[in-house]
């Protein structure tokens, strides 16, 4: 078992850490029906790094992502984005931080059907009253290969293309960190590998920080670092993963997968 090498840095603001949790716990319900979804998770995400959070269904991956991204409040422990401690923020400030500094990609593409691809991509900026950085937007749109389809509506795009719109939307504000929850879960393997390639490229070429939750070893292999979660705890981590090395660890962590 490997300890998180960033854990010692988690309690205080540290340069180069895009987001961190310290002793983060999340408990749902109470009494007999109580579920400890996260049990004192301390983890840091380095800037410019692609991290995959792996683990069997129900191990707490989505809960970790939701708490780390300020979409859900911890039961105890703390979360920070950059040097901002989320518990110090009021509702409006938290909404603003999520909008300005965090990008989200979900399994469902969550595009608005009446808007064009470009309008969907810039919608979060429009809502924030911010003008898009043209040069950045062009780079992002070119990277995901949508330059020719910006006027299309979601119904005119394939699933893979729709998720590319969602990737571009997540990157459009140049967020401090992008969180993806099973972003390839609704895609066939070819469209999925394209989207993973774009996430990889956003880290390599644009210096983005990406954290992706997945239960797919092939998807996790696109990351620089894979963190393994089981029963709400971090149980292992590895760097420079391959699909085989990830699968191998999963089998050891989850006897049901054998």
CA proximity to 103, closest of 203, 253, 216, 245: 203
- In the complex with ligand ADP, which residue's Cβ is closer, 119 or 254? 254
Q: How many residues does the chain have?
A: 258
Closest approach of ligand ADP to the CB of residue 219, in Å: 14
One residue of 10, 17, 61, 195 binding ligand ADP per CB under 6 A: 61
Closest approach of ligand ADP to the CB of residue 215, in Å: 7
Closest approach of Mg ion to the CB of residue 181, in Å: 6
Quickly tell me which residue has 């797919």 as its tokens. Answer: 216
Using CB under 6 A as the binding rule, whether residue 8 contacts ligand ADP is answered as: no
Stretch that binds ligand ADP, among 61-69, 81-89, 108-116, 219-227 (CB under 6 A): 61-69
Cα Rg for the chain, rounded, in angstroms?
18
Residue 57's binding partner, choosing from Mg ion, ligand ADP, none, with beta-carbon cut-off 5 to 8 A by kind?
Answer: ligand ADP
Residues numbered 73 to 102 that lie near ligand ADP (CB under 6 A) are none
Stretch that binds ligand ADP, among 51-59, 116-124, 203-211, 244-252 (CB under 6 A): 51-59
DSSP state of 31: G
Closest approach of ligand ADP to the CB of residue 130, in Å: 31
Residues numbered 25 to 44 that lie near ligand ADP (CB under 6 A) are 28-29, 35, 37
Q: How far apart are CA 131 and CA 122, in angstroms?
A: 9
Give 53: exposed, middle or buried? Use CB within 10 Å, 0-12, 13-18, 19+.
buried
- In the complex with ligand ADP, which residue's Cβ is closer, 35 or 257? 35
> Could you tell me where the DSSP H helices lie in the chain?
61-68, 91-101, 117-128, 134-143, 159-171, 189-204, 217-220, 243-253
Residue nearest to Mg ion (CB): 62
Q: Is 211 helix (H, G, I), strand (E, B) or coil?
A: strand
Q: Is the dihedral of CA 219, 225, 223, 9 positive or negative?
A: positive
One residue of 22, 62, 120, 161 binding ligand ADP per CB under 6 A: 62
Residue 100 neighbours by CB distance under 10 Å: 15
**Residue ranges that bind Mg ion, judged by CB under 5 A:** 61-62
Contact residues for ligand ADP, defined by CB under 6 A: 28-29, 35, 37, 55, 57-63
């Amino acid at each position: 078992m490997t300890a998180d090498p960033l854990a010692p840095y988690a309690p205080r603001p540290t340069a180069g850490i895009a987001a961190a949790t310290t002793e983060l716990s999340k408990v749902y319900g109470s009494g007999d029906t109580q579920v400890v979804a996260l049990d004192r998770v301390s983890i840091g995400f380095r800037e410019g790094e692609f991290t995959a959070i792996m683990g069997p269904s129900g191990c707490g991956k989505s809960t970790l992502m939701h708490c780390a991204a300020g979409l859900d409040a911890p039961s105890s422990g703390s979360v920070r984005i950059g040097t901002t401690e989320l518990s110090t923020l009021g509702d409006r400030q938290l909404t603003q931080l999520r909008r300005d500094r965090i990008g989200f990609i979900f399994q469902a593409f969550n595009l608005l059907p009446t808007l064009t691809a470009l309008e969907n991509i810039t919608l979060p900026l429009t809502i924030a009253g911010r003008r898009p950085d043209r040069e950045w937007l062009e780079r992002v749109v070119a990277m995901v290969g949508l330059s020719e389809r910006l006027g299309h509506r979601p119904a005119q795009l394939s699933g893979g293309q729709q998720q590319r719109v969602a990737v571009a939307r997540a990157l459009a504000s140049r967020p401090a960190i992008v969180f993806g929850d099973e972003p390839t879960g609704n895609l066939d393997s070819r469209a999925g590998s394209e989207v993973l390639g774009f996430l990889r490229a956003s880290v390599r070429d644009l210096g983005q920080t990406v954290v992706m939750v997945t239960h797919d070893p092939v998807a996790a292999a696109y990351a620089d670092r894979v963190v393994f979660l089981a029963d709400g705890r971090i149980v292992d981590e590895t760097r420079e993963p391959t699909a085989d090395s990830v699968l191998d660890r999963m089998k050891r962590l989850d006897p049901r997968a054998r």
